A and B are shown apart, each in its own frame.
Chain A
Amino acid sequence: MRDASERVLIEAYKRARTRAPEDIEARLASVLVQAEAGAYPSTHAIGPAHTILKVMASALVSATIIAAIVFANATSPKAPSAAMQDDTEPVATVQPMMSEAEAISATAVTQPSEQQLPPATERPLPSRRRAAPTKLATQSDAAIDDGPAMAELQLITNARRALRRGEHAIALELLEQHAREFEKGALAHERNVSRLQALCALGLRERAAELGQAFAKSFPESPIGQRWHNGCPTDRRP
């Protein structure tokens, strides 16, 4: 049988499991936005250091995909909220692989042009936590809302991805773009968490402290805001 010290060790491992990342909602949103776009898993991983050039090149492809989605929603307002059953993709054990370009486009920086997407509205989605994705799936007047929502989610998704890969500067740039374009967007909370992480990782502690205070003020009930109130925390997720 297992002795006490073994149990302590096992418990430490289990407890670490219960610590969901702070930005889990943004991560969830990013899966949903990719799923909505019909993306295959990017089995051809971009690798830790895809270049800006690659990203820029694929931005156009992404914008086209998003435009197509918006168009589909706009032209078929009764587009069924269903259709997993109608899925014609083979239910294969191994997912078909997409070309690298496609894989990148699914995750690339999107800079959709004004012609392709309706202008971004400042109007936040009804509930931040209830999350845009649910809305994406069920709204039929989607063309009005989904474009900006998709673009917003995509920005956050890409920023998170960059952050996970340790490309903090790229992440920060994307997050600041998000702050400019979607200042009061539905994912403002997620943006600020990620931004604080990027700033701290880059050693920009003063800017982090400044943002942390503003963050705590705008989300007074958020425990995360309180945690970052004094700048870069020391207890990082492993």
Chain B
Amino acid sequence: MRIRSVGGQEGTMPGPAAVAPHGGGMRHARLVPVVDDPANRFAELYRAHYTAVCDWIRALGTPPPYNEDVAQDVFLVVHRRMADFIPGRSFRAWLFGIARRVNRDHSRGRRRTEARERTVLAPVPLPPAEDAVAHDEALSFMHDFVDGLDSEKRIVFVLSDIDDMSTPEIAEALGVPVKLVRSRLRTARERFKAAAEQFQRAASKRHA
């Protein structure tokens, strides 16, 4: 068996500094000494993008906790394919492309096994949060709203308004025309506006 290194080709992968990190990374960044080592580069990319990838997978239709398993496999592919990344292109678009393919493969496998395992008990969810109620209300509204969008609008909304990706970047990630991204985004935002107003009205009634 051949042992592959963590790194691979030098200089083809953006360091985290070259990539707008997703929030999760910074907390852990200090844990690894900053040296120009491809092994560390993968670790940094993992830490910087892990939560976003989990979220994308969820937006692509795989619910928790399975989205975390899929995310692990996404990074397994990233690890293997790091050399394929073309410098100068959008790293997140590339990462999302991998996430989408891995998720699609998983969904197929899941559909096959679901019927077989339908009798088995569902995973026990972790106990819900009891504090930070307002934050959780907002968050659960957001998850409900996002989950409720149809899949095409959902992913555009997440990539644009949560990941702050540009429209051309999203078009690249999804492999669809920029115009289409714009129109999906417009519809998603209109729905968001309406839903947010409704949520706000309900919230002020609750807390009145």
Report Cα–Cα, A14/B138, bound state, in Å: 11
User: Does A238 lie within 8 Å of B73, measured CB to CB?
Assistant: no
- Chain B residues within an 8 Å CB radius of A39: 76
User: Does B4 lie within 8 Å of A84, measured CB to CB?
Assistant: yes
Q: Is the C-beta of B31 less than 8 angstroms from some C-beta in chain A?
A: yes
A24, A48, A201: which contacts B120 (Cβ < 8 A)?
A48
User: Does A10 lie within 8 Å of B50, measured CB to CB?
Assistant: no
User: Does B24 lie within 8 Å of A137, measured CB to CB?
Assistant: no
B76, B106, B108, B146: which contacts A31 (Cβ < 8 A)?
B76
User: Does A10 lie within 8 Å of B161, measured CB to CB?
Assistant: yes
For B48, the closest partner residue in chain A by CB is A20
- Chain B residues within an 8 Å CB radius of A38: 1-4
Q: Is the C-beta of B88 less than 8 angstroms from some C-beta in chain A?
A: no
Q: Is the C-beta of B90 less than 8 angstroms from some C-beta in chain A?
A: no
Within 8 A of B (CB), among A34-75: 34-36, 38-49, 65, 68-69, 72-73
B1, B50, B113: which contacts A20 (Cβ < 8 A)?
B50
- Chain A residues within an 8 Å CB radius of B167: none
Report Cα–Cα, A87/B193, bound state, in Å: 49
Within 8 A of B (CB), among A199-238: 200-201, 232, 234-238
Q: Mark B169-195, 1 if CB is under 8 A from A, else 0.
A: 000000000000000000000001100
User: Does B117 lie within 8 Å of A134, measured CB to CB?
Assistant: no
20 A-B pairs within 8 Å (CB atoms) are namely: A5-B196, A8-B138, A14-B162, A20-B28, A24-B50, A27-B50, A27-B72, A28-B43, A32-B79, A43-B73, A43-B105, A43-B106, A45-B109, A84-B4, A89-B80, A137-B7, A166-B65, A235-B132, A236-B126, A236-B128
Chain A residues within 8 Å of B, Cβ to Cβ: 2, 5-6, 8-10, 12-21, 24-25, 27-28, 30-32, 34-36, 38-49, 65, 68-69, 72-73, 79-87, 89, 91, 93-95, 97, 129-131, 133-134, 136-138, 161, 164-168, 197, 200-201, 232, 234-238
